[in-house]
Chains A and B, each alone.
Chain A
Amino acid sequence: MNAAVSSSVTSPSLHVLTPLIVFMVIAVLLFGGALLVAYLISPKAPSRQKSMIYECGEIPVGTAWSMFNVRFYVIGLVFIVFDVETALLIPVASVYRTLVAEGQGLYVFIILISFMAVIIEGLAYLWKKGDLDWVKSYKK
């Protein structure tokens, strides 16, 4: 807590991160406040029937936490691969135009193409193997 920043209101680090944090705090406080108000004024009359899990009016059978299809996991894996790919491509893509203006366009373009070709190859492989179908057909 010092007065060192008093000379400039707009210190860059203050500018970039502060609003993000302010909004994150507001998100929690404002909507937490709404929940608090709801908690204070809402009626509370719990009953066994109310706190039962909804299963179309019947008494629920078993738990919902059961094994799930492996398809979801595969979708997750493919997503992460593409996510990492975009994370790697974004830095390159952001300098692409300036490098084209500097006359190195073809060089960067070839790098870009060769990177993406490998990924597209992977996508094509999955497609051919039927892993992009939701219901995988096991027919050869």
Chain B
Amino acid sequence: MSANETVIDHLLQFEFFQKISTAIGSQIGVSHIWVWYMVALILVAAVITGILAAVGGFGTYAERKISADIQGRFGPNRVGPYGLFQVIADGLKMIGKEDISPNESDKFLFYLAPFLCIFGVVATFAVLPFSAGLTLSKTNVGIYYVVAISSLVGLGIFIAGYASNSKWSLLGGMRGASQIISYEIPVTLSIMSILLLSGGLSFEDILANQTAWPAGWYIFHNPFTFIGFFVYFVSVLAETNRAPFDLPEAESELVSGYHTEYTGMRYGLFALAEYMEVFVVCGLAATLFLGGYHVPFDIGKGTIFGDILQIGTFFAKTLGLYYVVIWVRWTFPRLRVDHLMSICWKYLTPIALFNLLGVSVWILFFDGKSILDLFLSAISSGPVGH
């Protein structure tokens, strides 16, 4: 890897930053470049986590504002202009609330569960491709790592439900765990149909064959990936416990589901983990199917300006999908639990398997060309197009 390519390399060039790092390094007594790298990495990681936590926080605001818009109300509008500071008010209130844990709960698991959830989400930020320069870890198992680590969230939800020793919580936790593991199958199978095209699990490989223009996106590559996108999207709605699949926290039947007994900041961690996970899965959808961070004509490639453009593109696509997720929530009624399972196992999984076979047949017969390529070559070879 050449220098000056990643955001961290850019950061390493600043003299002020070098001074700080050298000062820290001389305190510990280790090689300064290593310290530079570590300090830069920790700084960038903390900033990313902070920003995504803010995105998660504003997710709650967006949710209320959009739902109000859909239902013809105003939504939060007291704190700050357009109620924008509602998030801060909520956060402060959450921190200031008393932390109650039930006497009869399993204390160890009760305290552990929110951490499992937040850990499973935050650990995935390390591989998210925000831009070419801001993909912190270029591990070659990128997407599979995200799927794996986020399975800890399901475990956290189950543990939370169990540890509370409340009937509502336990029902919510059991539903949550079984729902999350069930819907992981269509998600993984849809990802695999993209893997057939990309030939690698890392985000670099996945993005290498896509372009900035919709014609080069994997969603429009062939009919099977087009279906695959919707299979993926529906499944991740269920995996993140979003409506219409929000059975683990169905407030009309289970009070508040798995986090019934949680108060204050511990509840806040669950809520934050959920909203951040929605962001992560939307980001994955944008990367896998919608061309990711690619900017038209590769404007400013390799410079800090280009990185900012790419981050903007990534966030625009992701937040667009985020809007759709909220929109879906306020449009569809909640599913029944048996319908939930039959949708997963009888519809989405067979469709995803079919897609997988379809994509492999497509690659075999059309040599991995996209539908547009085929169309263009048909036009150029024959005088009469369709």
Contact = CB atoms under 8 A, between A and B. Distances in A.
A/B touching: CB–CB < 8 A: yes
Interface of A: 1-6, 9-10, 14-20, 22-24, 26-28, 30-32, 34-35, 37-39, 41-46, 50-56, 60, 63-65, 68, 71-72, 75-76, 78-79, 82-83, 86, 89-90, 93-98, 100-101, 105-106, 109, 112-113, 116, 119-120, 123, 126-127, 132-135
A51 B105 CA distance: 9
- Which secondary structure dominates chain B's binding surface? helix
Given A6-B31, A86-B188, A97 B95 contact: no
- Which secondary structure dominates chain A's binding surface? helix
Interface in B25-55: 29-34, 36-38, 41-42, 45-46, 49-50, 53
Interface string B347-358: 001100100110
Interface stretch (B167-175, B217-225, B377-385): B167-175
Q: What 6 A-B pairs are tightest by C-beta distance, nearest first?
A: A27-B122, A134-B338, A38-B265, A19-B136, A19-B137, A3-B31
Given A76-B181, A90-B201, A20 B166 contact: no
Contact of A76 (B121, B136, B178): B178
B261 interface: yes
B12 interface: yes
B363 A105 contact: yes
Contacts of B83: none
A134 B364 CA distance: 38
A31 to B, nearest CB: 5
A5 B353 contact: no
A97 B368 contact: yes
A133 B342 contact: yes
Contact of B95 (A41, A46, A98): A41
A136 to B, nearest CB: 10
A69 B279 CA distance: 33
Contacts of B350: 120, 123
A4 B34 CA distance: 10
Given A54-B168, A64-B165, A134-B342, A96 B181 contact: no
A114 to B, nearest CB: 12
A83 B191 CA distance: 13
Contacts of A75: 178, 181-182, 341
B26 to A, nearest CB: 13
Contacts of A4: 31
Interface residues of B, number: 101
A52 B37 contact: no
Contacts of B41: 18-19, 22
B317 to A, nearest CB: 22
B181 A79 contact: yes
Contacts of B36: 9
B71 interface: no
Contacts of B50: 30
Given A15-B1, A20-B123, A28-B115, A120 B98 contact: no
Interface string B275-296: 0000000000000000000000
Contacts of B269: 31, 34-35
A140 B200 CA distance: 46
A28 B119 contact: yes
Nearest to A38: B265
Given A23-B45, A23-B126, A120 B201 contact: no
B195 A53 contact: no
A22 B184 CA distance: 26
Given A10-B37, A53-B105, A132-B342, 18 more contacts: A14-B37, A15-B1, A20-B145, A27-B49, A27-B119, A30-B46, A30-B49, A37-B95, A53-B104, A53-B261, A72-B174, A79-B181, A100-B368, A105-B364, A109-B360, A113-B357, A123-B349, A134-B342
